Amino acid sequence: MIASRKCPFERGSLLLRNEFRSSASLAKSISPPILWWFCFAILFATIASTLSTDRTFDFKNYHFYNGFSVFHDRRGLDIFPGQMQSTFFYGLDIVYYLIFTFLNNHPMLINVVLSLPYSVAAVAVFFIARPFAESGFHWPGLLSAAAAVFGLTGVANLPTLATTASDLVPGLAILIALARWVTLENADRNTVSTGLGVGALAGLSVALKLTEAPLFVAMALAIAARYATGKGSALWEALAFGVGGLVVFTAVDALWLWGNAKAYGNPIFPLMNNIFKSDLIPPEPWRDLRFVPKTTLMALFYPAYWAFRPSTDVSELFMRDPRILLGCASAVAIVFVFSGSWIRKRAAPPVGGVESLAFSLAIMFLVSYALWENVWSIYRYLAIQESLSGVLVLAALPILFGMRGRMWAATGLFALAVIWTARTTVYPWWDRTQRGPQALSVQLPTLEPNAMVLFLDGNPYAYLVPSMPSSAGAIGVIGNLVHPGSPGRLWPLIETAVRDHQGPLWGVEDPVDSPGAADAALSSLHLARDDECAPVITNMELDQRVRICRLRRE
């Protein structure tokens, strides 16, 4: 459903500008990372404290439940209550579950804690931007900070601040790895051993969320591309980077992969089931293709589709943001000018120069964007690329316009890009709770210990499971993984589980948002509502449309 109310980030833009000015003035002449982190931490914690807590689809559907299920073995009780996301890697979900459980009575503190990765990311982007800012701009420290804030206040990042839907959090490790690599490469100090360490750090991001894989592949290619600019060890460094990432990914995800393979016949179930062919579901890729470009022309100029007008091309909600367009245009300009100079001079610029470093960063940005567009095209998954958009602009301006020595002009153009972007960005409104004493509150009618609760439509209900008796099971009857009569063994498995259950049955539904879905599910399972229905009282459903009904067999 498209939200119609005004986004809080537009209302709070003045706060953002004032906070940034105060933080920047304090940090203008400070270089130690801990002090820059302090300034960014104050900025993002202040913004987060003005927001209410998370009630996004992902939080309600699986982030809270998946963490809960790790600590309370739900095997044998539940059947995909979080839909297909029930099987996603649970590493970060454990952290989210602990935060929301132990700090549930302190919602503002939860937001402040969840804002900390943004401040760390800002420090990483600051140090990625610093070599480019120092080479062609006035006030390099201030502009590096501006580039960091510019990237981290885009549509992929700021609206998900202090929510479990943020893709910046799993991507943080690869952003830190990139900052480390850029710092060492600028000093011509990268070696095979540093490549191994940077790769290990980047591999952690892929382990936490597979959507970070395009960034990992792109960074490996960017490191390897240094060979073409005259760095003889670049290919070995890229190989070490890949090995380091693979080792960490395997160490972190091995138990999860093995568990999925054993339970479902697919280690990353249900993804890529056209390859692994679990018989529970059809042998399909199980990709969300709603946002993939429909034509070649659209694919070539896709960032322009949401840069100049509000759009739902890459998001469920209307948004507008020119950051990725600026990043792509800057990266293309860097590659074009660098290659042209290379051809004319018949020699690549020095490996340690900022032009060569900008070329590598541009390759990483463009390759990761191309892979993203081909595989997902979901804008939230561009959080790391978006955070680097200001850096690409800083890197491109002196190269594109030959502004070495004309720092006022370069600084002015960067300021204009920031102002234009700030004035034109339209933020989507991701669901948040109303302010209250708890981050998550749920009141269910008294359920029997051996009850079975059926989720009868595709809305997210798995967050209810921790409030049920520990011996009560939950089944996702309809969702993005299964529905009545769907091919494969999963639907017959659900039918058998419901038919053989000896205890009471309950059904959860939202008849307003999903009219008729529950009726179809009940009919397929030969069940009907009893007279006893009650609303689910929770701050996760602001209008209390969700209800739970006792069921009887027909």
Instruction: Give the residue carrying structure tokens 């998946």.
Output: 66
Q: Are residues 324 and 448 in the same domain?
A: no
Q: Are residues 516 and 375 in the same domain?
A: no
pLDDT value for 411: 86
Q: What angle do CA 17, 325, 218 make, to 5 degrees?
A: 105
In the predicted structure, residue 1 carries a pLDDT above the cut 80: no
Q: Are residues 105 and 159 in the same domain?
A: yes
Q: Which residue has the higher pLDDT, 534 or 25?
A: 534
* 31-42 pLDDT tens trace: 567 888 999 999
How far is the first Cα of the chain from the last one, in angstroms, to the nearest whole number? 34
Confidence of residue 15 (pLDDT cuts 50, 70, 90): very low
* Residue 165 placed within a domain: yes
Q: Using CA atoms, how far apart are residues 36 and 145, in angstroms rounded to an integer?
A: 9
* Residue 432 placed within a domain: no
In the predicted structure, residue 48 carries a pLDDT above the cut 60: yes
Confidence of residue 16 (pLDDT cuts 50, 70, 90): very low
| 507 DSSP 8-state letter | E
In the predicted structure, residue 330 carries a pLDDT above the cut 50: yes
Average pLDDT, the chain: 91
Q: Are residues 375 and 448 in the same domain?
A: no
Q: Are residues 413 and 460 in the same domain?
A: no
Q: Are residues 247 and 301 in the same domain?
A: yes
* 503-522 pLDDT tens trace: 999 999 999 999 999 999 99
Q: C-alpha distances in angstroms, 139 versus 34, 143, 150, 491?
A: 20, 6, 16, 62
Which among 339, 412, 399 is positioned nearest to 146, based on CA atoms? 412
* Residue 1 placed within a domain: no
* Residue 434 placed within a domain: no
Q: Are residues 492 and 392 in the same domain?
A: no
Per-position b or e across 493-504, b if 16+ CB within 10 A of its CB: ebbeebeebeeb
Instruction: Give the residue carrying structure tokens 């833009």.
Output: 13
Q: Are 151 and 388 in contact (CB under 8 A)?
A: yes
Q: Are residues 322 and 393 in the same domain?
A: yes
pLDDT value for 237: 97
Q: Which residue has the higher pLDDT, 453 or 404?
A: 453
**Where a domain ends, among 390, 424, 458?**
424
Domain membership of residue 145 as a residue range: 8-424
* Residue 182 placed within a domain: yes
CA 425 to chain centre: 19
pLDDT value for 155: 98
Q: Give the list of residues 6+ apart from residue 356 with CB closer than 8 angstroms, or none.
A: 226, 229, 338, 348, 349, 350
Average pLDDT over residues 477-491: 96
* 417-454 pLDDT tens trace: 999 999 999 999 899 999 999 999 999 999 999 999 99
Do you know the residue count of the chain? 554
| Burial grade of 224 (CB within 10 A; 0-12, 13-18, 19 or more) | buried
Out of 71-85, 91-105, 135-149, 291-305, which region has the weakest mean confidence (pLDDT)?
A: 135-149
* Residue 112 placed within a domain: yes
pLDDT value for 5: 45
In the predicted structure, residue 192 carries a pLDDT above the cut 90: yes
The H or E element that residue 49 is part of is helix 33-49
Torsion of CA 408, 414, 415, 417, to 10 degrees: 150
* Residue 429 placed within a domain: no
Which two tokens mark 261?
């393979």
User: H helices within 137-167, ranges in order?
Assistant: 140-152
Helix (H, G, I), strand (E, B) or coil at 21: helix
Which among 114, 201, 90, 156 is positioned nearest to 381, based on CA atoms? 156
Average pLDDT over residues 99-123: 98
Q: Is the peptide bond before 466 cis (omega within 30 degrees of 0)?
A: no
In the predicted structure, residue 74 carries a pLDDT above the cut 80: yes
pTM (predicted TM-score): 0.92
Q: Are 388 and 179 in contact (CB under 8 A)?
A: no
Q: C-alpha distances in angstroms, 403 versus 12, 138, 254, 331, 400?
A: 35, 12, 50, 17, 8
Which among 128, 549, 172, 162 is positioned nearest to 360, based on CA atoms? 128
Q: Are residues 376 and 517 in the same domain?
A: no
Per cent of the chain over pLDDT 70 is 92
User: H helices within 490-531, ranges in order?
Assistant: 490-500, 517-524
In the predicted structure, residue 224 carries a pLDDT above the cut 60: yes
* Residue 431 placed within a domain: no
Q: Are residues 170 and 313 in the same domain?
A: yes
Q: Are 245 and 177 in contact (CB under 8 A)?
A: no
Which among 125, 157, 146, 51 is positioned nearest to 382, based on CA atoms? 157
Q: How many domains does the chain have?
A: 2
330 — alpha (psi -120 to 50), left (phi > 0) or beta?
alpha
pLDDT value for 27: 41
Q: Which residue has the higher pLDDT, 386 or 543?
A: 386
Q: Are residues 347 and 463 in the same domain?
A: no
Q: Quick count: other Cβ atoms within 10 Å of Cβ 194?
A: 18
Q: Are residues 87 and 211 in the same domain?
A: yes
Which two tokens mark 403?
């502004």
Helix (H, G, I), strand (E, B) or coil at 278: coil
